[in-house]
A and B are shown apart, each in its own frame.
Chain A
Amino acid sequence: MTGEQIIFLITAGFTLGSGLMVVTARNLVHAALWLVSTLFGVAVTYALLNANFIAVVQVTVYIGAIAILFIFAVMLTRRDLRDSGPQTNKNWWAGALLAVLTFAGLASLLQGWSGFSKTGAAFPSDFDAIAALGEALVSPDAYVLPFEVASVLLMAALVGAVYLAFNRK
Chain B
Amino acid sequence: MVPLSWYLIFSAALFSIGLFGVLTRRNAIAILLGVELMLNAVNINLVAFWRYGDVTSMAGQVFAVIVFAVAAAEVAVGLALVISVYRRRNTVIADELDMMKW
Contacts and interface: CB of A to CB of B under 8 A. Distances in A.
Q: What is the predominant secondary structure among interface residues of chain A facing chain B?
A: helix
A23 B4 contact: no
A160 B47 contact: no
Chain A interface size band reads: 35 or more
Interface string B49-61: 0111001101101
A28 B27 contact: yes
Contacts, number: 256
Interface in B70-91: 70-77, 79-84, 86-87, 90-91
16 contacts: A4-B1, A16-B10, A49-B47, A51-B51, A65-B72, A69-B79, A73-B29, A96-B24, A98-B23, A102-B19, A110-B5, A121-B55, A133-B58, A142-B62, A153-B73, A162-B80
Interface of A: 2, 4-5, 8, 12, 15-16, 19-20, 22-23, 28, 31-32, 35, 38-39, 42, 45-46, 48-51, 53-54, 57-58, 61-62, 65-66, 69-70, 72-74, 76-77, 79-80, 83, 86-89, 91-92, 94-96, 98-100, 102-103, 106-107, 110, 115-121, 123-124, 127, 129, 132-133, 136-137, 142-143, 146-147, 150-151, 153-154, 156-158, 160-162, 164-165, 167
